[in-house]
Amino acid sequence: MADKLDQRKLTDLHPDTSNTNVGSVRGTAMLERSLQDYGAGRSIVIDKNGKVIAGNKTLESAVGIGLESALVVHTTGDKLVVVQRDDLDLETDTKAMELGVADNRVNEVNLTWAVDMLQKIEDQGAKLDLFFSPKETETLIAKALAFQPDMAPEFSSSEVTPDDVTSEADRLNSRFAEVSEASARAGREVVCPACGKEFEFRGGDR
């Protein structure tokens, strides 16, 4: 049977309410900028009912910048779906080179695991031990426990601007400095107020 291809409105697709990635302010801004500057590249994955399996943040940002439609390729996973950009030549176009970097970097920066959602789908029977070692699971839980809600940005992704990202970075840097100074005086380990990562602070009095 020939593969089926149709066009669908982005608003007809449904985000996953149990998405295990909550993203990040900087990553969201980078994703929207990438879509605006380089256009759509990597495809997203939806189930037979139009619910997003992979690519929730891409769909969210695409709608946010005003994209309206998508080409949907129907498949059962036995073929690799390849997106060909007829407007780009990787040998000569710096835009194509930058898109390759953007694709990897955005995925890296815009990943923040939602531990509660990971636990939820594991309770539903999803096997996650292939993707997380016991040590990595402990680290995720520690980060979740160290997270401080009052430090989260208060604006939605659709309202993010470069100034918002800069302002948020300055605020986190300020909070990080406060925690670092307090920990140095008390001789404790530092817990990053942004990601919850712990490390030893070796600074002295100023």
CATH of the domain at 63: 3.90.1530
Parent domain of 150: 118-206
User: CB within 8 A of 81, min separation 6: which ones?
Assistant: 43, 73, 75
Same structural domain for residues 200 and 134?
Answer: yes
Last residue in a domain, options 78, 112, 146: 112
If one counts the domains in the chain, the total is 2
Same structural domain for residues 132 and 206?
Answer: yes
pLDDT at 206: 46
Alpha helix ranges (H) inside the chain? 25-38, 56-64, 94-109, 115-123, 134-146, 162-186
Same structural domain for residues 94 and 125?
Answer: no
User: CB within 8 A of 42, min separation 6: which ones?
Assistant: 55, 58, 83, 103
Three-state DSSP state, 159: helix
Report helix, strand and coil shares of the chain as percent, to nearest 5: 45, 15, 40
204 token code pair: 């002295």
pLDDT at 189: 54
Q: What is the pLDDT of residues 108-121, one digit of tens each?
A: 999 999 999 998 99
pLDDT at 2: 60
* Dist. CA 168–CA 112, nearest whole Å: 16
Q: How far apart are the first and last CA of the chain?
A: 72
User: Phi and psi of 199, rounded to 5°?
Assistant: -160, 160
C-beta of residue 34 within 8 angstroms of C-beta of residue 99: yes
pLDDT at 140: 85
pLDDT at 183: 47
Same structural domain for residues 59 and 122?
Answer: no
Tens of each residue's pLDDT in the chain, 206 residues: 467 899 999 999 999 999 999 999 999 999 999 999 999 998 999 999 999 999 999 999 999 999 999 999 999 999 999 999 999 999 999 999 999 999 999 999 999 999 999 989 999 999 998 999 988 988 888 877 776 555 455 555 556 667 776 777 676 666 556 545 554 554 445 556 556 566 555 554 44
Q: What is the pLDDT of residues 51-80, one digit of tens each?
A: 999 999 999 999 999 999 999 999 999 999
User: Which among 162, 164, 156, 153 is positioned nearest to 63, based on CA atoms?
Assistant: 156
- The reported pTM is 0.67
pLDDT at 205: 47
